[in-house]
Structure 1
Amino acid sequence: MKNFTLIIGAVYGLLSVILGAFGAHALKKVLSVEKLQSFETGVKYQMYSALFLLIVGYILKFESPSEKWISILMIAGTFLFSMSIYFLSFSEVWNTNLKFLGPITPIGGLLMIISWAMLTFYFVKTRF
């Protein structure tokens, strides 16, 4: 799980840099200002999660189920959160109704929040 967390963290970081550059240059002409801001939010949170996963991958030993769930929830939450935002950003360009993805974004965000809360609880439990 440790290696998986580190690999996903590195992949999320790589993709967020690529998508961020793509958004800053190519998408300005394609997306509305509002959709571009949403896209950038997805990129920003994906990078935060990449850093989170890299740090957690080095700090945790992944010996307990809670340590594994900290990683799993962040990986899944980031995927749901950012990917749903990316697709929703392109809904006008693709002329497709993707509003069904709307509820996916907060579910992904909730999984990320739970991961952060579990990490906080882990530190409180192991450090005090």
Structure 2
Amino acid sequence: MTDRQLIIVAALTLLVGVGAGAFGAHGLKRIITPDMLSVWQTAVLYQLIHGLGMLAIAALGTRLGSPLLNLSGSVMFAGILIFSGSLYALVLTNTKWLGAITPIGGAAFLIAWAMVAVAAYRS
């Protein structure tokens, strides 16, 4: 992903994250259990943190000029889709097996941040 594409994806990810947070606080609060609301809030938190992470990666892209850095943004976005997406789906559908794929998204986050560190080290 180019820096520009990453900024666009990050901004849209953050937009959706804010909307999901509001939906959880105002729309879901009355219809799901407190435990499921906590799961929703975790999904929102990780989406927002890693959306900001993608913006930081895009900002560092011109400074470090590393293809590994660009790839880390894509891996981070995949992590958001898998981690937060599986938790959102779990809450909305009560399909418990979705929780089993959530760690794959978490691993993608770890890999993406490691890639950022390696890119910075190599520059």
Could you state the TM-score of these two structures normalised by the residue count of structure 1? Answer: 0.87
* CA distance in structure 1 between the partners assigned to 2:67 and 2:97 by the alignment: 32
Secondary structure at the counterpart of residue 29 of structure 1: coil
* CA distance in structure 2 between the partners assigned to 1:31 and 1:120 by the alignment: 39
More moved, 4-13 vs 99-108: 99-108
Q: How does 1:1-128 map to 2 (within 5 A)?
A: 1-61=2-62, 64-92=66-94, 98-126=95-123
Q: Which has the higher helix share?
A: 2
Secondary structure at the counterpart of residue 122 of structure 1: helix
* CA distance in structure 1 between the partners assigned to 2:58 and 2:68 by the alignment: 14
Could you state the TM-score of these two structures normalised by the residue count of structure 2? Answer: 0.90
Structure 2: give runs of 5+ residues left out of the alignment.
none
Secondary structure at the counterpart of residue 93 of structure 2: coil
Report the RMSD for the aligned CA atoms in angstroms.
Answer: 1.5
Q: Supply the AA of the counterpart residue of 1:47.
A: L
Moved segments of 4+, more than 3 Å: 61-65
Q: Supply the AA of the counterpart residue of 2:56.
A: I
More moved, 98-107 vs 59-68: 59-68
- Percentage of identical aligned residues: 35
Q: Supply the AA of the counterpart residue of 2:9.
A: I
Count of aligned positions: 121
Deviation at 1:121, TM superposition (A): 1.7
